[in-house]
A and B are shown apart, each in its own frame.
Chain A
Amino acid sequence: MTHSHQKREEQREEQREEQPHEQRQEREQPAAADTANSRRGFLTKALAVMCGGLATLVPVAAGVWAFLDPLRRGSAAATFIPVADLAAVPDDGVPRQYPVVTDRVDAWTGFAAEPVGAVYLRREQGSREVQALSATCPHAGCFVEMESTGRCFRCPCHNSSFTLDGGIVNPSPSPRRMDSLECRVGDNGTVAVKWQKFRAGVAAKEVQG
């Protein structure tokens, strides 16, 4: 205990002795009538609130500061991830699902070659061009699957339906068509997609994170 602290403690002790609870209340009234005293009283109050507030603010601020940390963390820069060999993508215009496997970091854990999601690849007959669609529903993020009939895509959550090239089938709750991903076919026939997430539930396709 510091010296001044000790002194304050003693003073308080004295006050308590000479001023039982009820008496203290009575004495405040005449004191308030005195303007000089009232100014001092206001200062005391303001100071008390400020000191108390400031002291409490420190832990709150420290907490909030750390809590806001995720805001400065963007997604890792989008890279092209090889997902298939061109020969393995049938050229019948029907999309097939391919897993996206890449290194992933989750806060302090690093994963090597981990499945992180899926894309649909589609190729027209004889074409070397591949269309890539993200399997993440633009409505609210569920995993879009192919209908059992093979005629269209359908999201199992709120029934958004999409044509085989990702166009929206109306009426669907989804605000936009399925998100297409940039797709490159290398000279050696490797199909790579630019793995990105887009903000769900809005009409425009905005990159997330």
Chain B
Amino acid sequence: MSRDGRRTPAPAARPGVVGRLADFLDDRTGYRAVVHEALYERVPGGARWRYVWGSTLVFAFMTQVITGLFLWASYSAGAQTAWESVYYIQHEMAGGWLLRGIHHFMAQAMVVLLALHLLQVVIDGAYKAPREVNFWLGLILMLLVLGMALTGYLLPWDQKGYWATIVATNLAGIVPFVGPSIQQLVIGGPEYGHHTLTRFFALHAGFLPVTLVLFLVVHLTLFRKHGLHAKQPLTRPDAMFWPDQVLKDAVAMLAVMAVVLGVILMPALRAMLAGEAVVPGELGAELGAPADPSLPYAAARPEWYFLFLFQFLKVFEGWGATGEFFGAIVVPGLIMAGMFLMPIIGNWRLGHRFNVAFTLAILAGVGLLTALALNEDYAAVWVNTTALAEAERLSEQTGGDAAKLIAAVGGDRGKAAAIEKQWKTLERVRHSQAFLDAVKQAKADAARAIELAGRPERIPPGGMLELVRSDAKSQGPRLFAQHCASCHAHVDPLAEDAAAVIATSSAANLFGFGSADWMRGLLDPAEVAGPAYFGTTAHREGDMVNFVQNDLTDAATWPKVHIDAVVAAMAAEAGQPVPQESASLVEKGRELVAASDRCGGCHAFRDNGTELGSAPELTGWGGREWLVGIIADPTHPRFYGDTNDRMPSFGKAKEGGIAPLSSTQIRLVADWLRGEWYRPTGH
């Protein structure tokens, strides 16, 4: 192509077909002039790297449009379909992880590029006359991009997006007068649900980007009208936008894309180097567990570039409602207003310096707040707590009471002050640890949800949440912690801290309940009266303990092979698989359990004729039905009857009242204790 397409006279020689077609098109559309206009912009002082930021931003936006449209083709905005469709994109569709990964990380790159672009415009003074309007347009574009980031975070409808959106929309709700209405409009009603998603999606993929394109067109038109704001002094001759600057821009775009791809693929590279298998679904953007309003989510944090706003709210501790209004609305509003005023302030004598200082101060503030937020969350990773052991001991001893502390350190006020300072550190570490544990739990929940979603039966129409809520593996530990753990331990006896945990419990350790090992422990005279079995219960001096300690130790009536047989029979009763070679042992065990001069003297077993009421029935012991029964009502004659110690009847409700646990919950606890839950094949 010639340097000056417009004035190229029609060549004397007959042009080829392409040439003639081009001439025809130009005659009817005038496209050459447009292309010329677009490409042959003079760049004073020649192409420079410092001019690439605007172009990389346009490129990043185009990337978002392209990947966004393709994501749209697979996304379904609805409370029972959003998570599910994103799961499908991320974990099942070929290349879905890459598509979503690019969209996710390019959004972050865009925020960084925005900051760089803004910084450069301010430092170069490119906001001054006659470019004021374009600067304002730029600020509006920035707000639109941030708005898209905020709305996009919710769309997967996972725990982290859900809780971050609750905070963001509640903050919108504190605006005086119109706040509650705005909040209700964006969440689409009084509660979060379908319409929160449809609205956020419409904003994210419709209203905001369309508005952005309109502003972008004006922004670019004005940019061309005023020409590039060249950085003085010009050291080199002028050049044309095409191809000199375009080359630099293109290289920068490629670099941005390379960084984004690098971030996505880095874990794959690491796995490959470590010789591990690469799971494509685990690359790129994370997908948390499905949103659940009834499940605490202590790992709730916004995307990292909003962390400073999040942290800023903590600055106003003790200021009450005014503080929150200041932190969430007034100060961010004033800062934005200050930025909008920059072109006017810039006209004053020291105005430009002020603007640069203002911008740097904001960026420094943002950086500082982000660092503070991260430091708070990750303190437990780097604070060495071994030096704080004494402070920790004193905290437990005094219950955190300052007056008692002074007495405890023998009146040494200096030392007391030092210890109190260490208490602060300890508290920080404890809070950080709670956050890190929550993150770990969130990761485990997410992994489990994804595992369940991949079942051959697929996700039910009620959505993923329904499936997660009926999963013993994820619900069991929560229910157990809430309802059972105040008495029962559930810890592997071989674990490091098992002894301590078991010692503080007031009922049997239920780890491995129903297994041969558990039964062997019960029949062990050294253990039966220990804290892992009946040691801390009313049965400590009961018939069973007496029997194990006095009768079972008599090797003449109870040779080891008989005990082995009983153990095998009980494990079989709990539904443990019986290997071919132990079939006869189990048979022998059943005879012993049933025999009226052995276990059957107290325990009913199959049809041995022993009446219920003196000891728990052993038919189906440790099986699902048996466990559900004893959890629901241990006072039933089938179980402990009136010898039941303190165990509540979790399934029993008074007339018209409600039971502590629903039958579904009891089933979940029973299944979890028995280790019965979905496991993907091939693991």
Q: Which listed residue, A157, A159, A176, A208, touches B190 by the CB 8 Å rule?
A: A208
Q: Answer yes or no: A117 CB below 8 A from chain B CBs.
A: yes
- Residue pair A202, B174 in contact (C-beta under 8 Å): yes
Contacts of A118 in B (CB 8 A): 294, 296
Does B454 make an interface contact (CB < 8 A)? no
Q: Nearest Cβ distance between residue A126 and chain B, in whole angstroms?
A: 18
B208 to chain A, nearest CB (A): 15
Residue B363 CB within 8 A of the other chain: no
Name the interface size band of chain B.
35 or more
B189 touches A70 (CB 8 A): yes
Q: A172 and B294 in contact (CB under 8 A), knowing A189-B654, A200-B170?
A: no
Is the pair A142, B173 in contact by a Cβ cutoff of 8 Å? no
Interface 9-mer from B191-199, B335-343, B565-573, B620-628: B191-199
Name A135-175 residues within 8 Å CB distance of B: 135, 139-143, 145, 148-149, 151, 154, 156-159, 170-173, 175
Known: A118-B294, A148-B430, A200-B174. A140 touches B167 (CB 8 A): yes
Closest to B174 in A: A201
B194 in contact with A106 (CB, 8 Å):
yes
Residue of A nearest to B315 (CB): A173
Asked whether A65 is an interface residue with its Cβ less than 8 Å from the other chain, the reply is: no
Q: How far is the CB of B131 from chain A (nearest CB, A)?
A: 31
- Complex interface: chain B residues within 8 A of A44 (CB): none
Q: Does A52 touch B at the CB level, under 8 Å?
A: no
Question: Which of B490-498, B516-524, B539-547, B657-665 has 4 or more CB atoms under 8 Å from chain A?
Answer: B657-665
Q: Return the CB mask of A52-76 against B: 1 if under 8 Å, else 0.
A: 0000000000000001101101110
Among B292, B469, B654, which residue has its beta carbon within 8 angstroms of that of A85? B654
Closest residue of chain B to A113 (Cβ to Cβ) is: B662
Is B300 an interface residue, CB under 8 A from the partner?
Answer: yes
A175 in contact with B324 (CB, 8 Å) = yes
Contacting pair A189 B194 (CB below 8 A): no
Query: Are A202 and B658 touching (Cβ within 8 A)?
Result: no
A185, chain B: closest CB distance, angstroms: 11
Contacts of A115 on B, CB cut-off 8 Å?
292-294, 469
A75-B191, A84-B660, A116-B293 known; A70 vs B185 contact (CB < 8 Å): yes
Q: State whether the Cβ of B583 lies closer than 8 Å to any Cβ in chain A.
A: no
> In the complex, what distance in Å separates the CA atom of A148 from the CA atom of B427?
11
- Rounded to whole Å, the gap between the CB of A45 and the closest CB of chain B is 25
Contact A188 B185 (CB under 8 A): no
In chain B, residues 281-299, which have Cβ atoms closer than 8 Å to a Cβ of chain A?
Answer: 292-299
Whether the Cβ atoms of A140 and B166 lie closer than 8 Å is yes
Residues in B with CB closer than 8 Å to A156 are: 296-300, 434-435, 438
B328 at the interface (CB under 8 A from A): yes
Name B194's contact: one of A68, A99, A108, A209 (CB within 8 Å): A108
Whether B323 sits at the interface, judged by CB under 8 Å, is yes
Which residue on B lies nearest to A197, using beta carbons?
A: B190
Question: In the complex, how many residue pairs between chain A and chain B have their CB atoms under 8 Å apart?
Answer: 166
Q: Contact check: which of B174, B189, B298, B317 meets A173 at CB < 8 Å? A: B317
Q: Which residue of chain B lies nearest to A88 when distances are taken between CB atoms in the complex?
A: B660
Cβ-based interface call for A199 (8 A): yes
Evaluate contact between B297 and A143: CB separation under 8 angstroms: yes
**Which residues of the other chain, B, contact A117 by a CB distance below 8 angstroms?**
293-294
Does A107 make an interface contact (CB < 8 A)?
yes
A116 and B291 CA atoms in complex are apart in Å by 12
**How far is it, in angstroms, between the C-alpha of A157 and the C-alpha of B327 when the chains are bound?**
15
Q: Which residues on A sit within 8 Å (CB–CB) of B318? A: 170-173
User: Do B296 and A140 touch across chains, with their CB atoms under 8 A apart?
Assistant: no
Taking a contact as CB atoms under 8 Å apart, the answer to whether B173 and A203 are in contact is: no
A82 within 8 A of B: yes
In the complex, A153 Cα to B658 Cα: how many Å? Answer: 27
Q: How far is the CB of B299 from chain A (nearest CB, A)?
A: 8
CB distance from B590 to the nearest CB of A (A): 38
Q: Chain A residues near B294: list those with CB within 8 A.
A: 99-100, 115-118
B325 at the interface (CB under 8 A from A): yes
Cβ-defined contact, B189 with A107, below 8 A: yes
Contact B296 A208 (CB under 8 A): no
Contact partner of B189 (CB less than 8 A), chosen from A73, A149, A151, is: A73
Q: Taking the complex as formed, is A6 at the interface, i.e. its CB lies under 8 A from any CB of chain B?
A: no
Chain A proximity of B618: nearest CB distance (Å):
29
Asked if residues B655 and A188 are in contact (CB atoms below 8 Å), the reply is: yes
Is A175 within 8 A of B170, CB to CB? no
Give complex CA distance A170, B323 in Å.
13
A158 neighbours in B (Cβ, 8 Å): 310, 313-314
B299 neighbours in A (Cβ, 8 Å):
156
| Residue of A100, A115, A157, A203 with most partner-chain B CB within 10 A | A157
Q: In the complex the two chains form, what is the Cα distance from A197 to B293 in whole Å?
A: 13
- B550 interfacial contact with A, CB 8 Å: no
Beyond A118-B296, A170-B318, 20 additional pairs, beta carbon < 8 A: A70-B190, A84-B660, A85-B653, A106-B191, A107-B189, A115-B293, A115-B294, A140-B324, A141-B167, A158-B314, A159-B431, A173-B313, A173-B319, A173-B323, A173-B327, A175-B323, A188-B656, A188-B657, A190-B657, A190-B658
- Contacts A/B (CB < 8 Å), 10 sampled: A87-B648, A96-B482, A99-B294, A107-B195, A141-B166, A159-B317, A170-B317, A175-B323, A176-B320, A209-B190
> Which B residues fall within an 8 A CB radius of A?
79-80, 163, 166-167, 170-171, 173-174, 180-181, 184-185, 187-191, 193-195, 292-300, 310, 313-314, 316-321, 323-325, 327-328, 400, 430-431, 434-435, 438, 469, 482, 648, 653-660
Q: Closest 8 CB pairs between A and B?
A: A171-B318, A209-B190, A106-B193, A175-B321, A156-B298, A115-B294, A171-B317, A201-B174
**Which residues does A use to contact B, with CB under 8 Å?**
67-68, 70-71, 73-75, 82-85, 87-88, 96-97, 99-100, 104, 106-109, 115-118, 135, 139-143, 145, 148-149, 151, 154, 156-159, 170-173, 175-176, 186, 188-190, 197, 199-203, 208-209
